[in-house]
Amino acid sequence: MNMQWIDILLIILIASSVVAALIFIIKQRRNGKGCCGGCSGCAYRSTCHKKDTK
């Protein structure tokens, strides 16, 4: 497979986006069990996020 610098750059970009997304999801899930992710406007947020309720 012939790889150019642009291919390597794009692979790095996609890989770092996936890592960032994964970190985001893990952080969010670690905060609360059963958090759907739609918590910032949720009236029931504190049921998932006991510590981070401000």
Partner 1 sequence: MTLKEVKIGDSARITQIGGEGALRQHFLDMGIIPGTEITVSKLAPMGDPMELTLHGYELTLRLADAELIQVEAIAEKKTADTKKSEKKRSHHPGLGEGGKFHPKGSGTPLPAGTIMTFALVGNQNSGKTTLFNRLTGSKQHVGNFPGVTVDRKDGAIKGHPDTLITDLPGIYSMSPYTSEEIVSRNFVLNEKPHAIINIVDANNIERNLYLTMQLLELNIPMVVAVNMMDELTSNGGSIDFNEMEMKLGVPVVPISAAKNEGIEELIEHAIHVAYYREPPVIKDFCEKSENGGAVHRCLHGICHLIEDHAEQAGLPIRFAASKVAEGDELIISQLGLDENEKDLMEHVVCQMEKERGLDKSAAIADMRFRFIQKLCDETVIKPKESKEHIRSRQIDKILTGKYTAIPAFIGIMALVFWLTFNVIGAWFQGLLEEGINYITEVVDASLTRANVNDAIHSLIIDGIFTGVGSVLSFLPIIVTLFLFLSLLEDSGYIARVAFVMDKLLRKIGLSGRSIVPLLIGFGCTVPAVMATRTLPSERDRKMTILLTPFMSCTAKLPIYAFFISAFFPRQGGLIMTGLYVLGIIVGIIAAIVYRNTLFRGEPVPFVMELPNYRMPGIRNTAQLLWEKAKDFLQRAFTVILIATIAIWFLQSFDLHLALVENESDSILASISQILAPLMKPAGLGDWRICVSLVSGFIAKESVVSTMKILFGGDVTAFMSPLTAASLLVFSLLYTPCVAAIASIRREYGKKWALIVVVWQCVIAWVAAAAVHLIGILIGK
- Site of interaction with partner 1 (CB under 8 A): 1-4, 6-7, 10-11, 14, 17-18, 21-22, 24-25, 33-48, 53-54
Total residue count of the chain as it appears in this document? 54
Torsional class of 40: left (φ above 0), alpha (ψ -120 to 50), beta (otherwise): alpha
Smallest distance, partner 1 to C-beta of residue 26, A: 10
Smallest distance, partner 1 to C-beta of residue 6, A: 5
Smallest distance, partner 1 to C-beta of residue 4, A: 7
Rounded CA-CA distance 18/45 in Å is 26
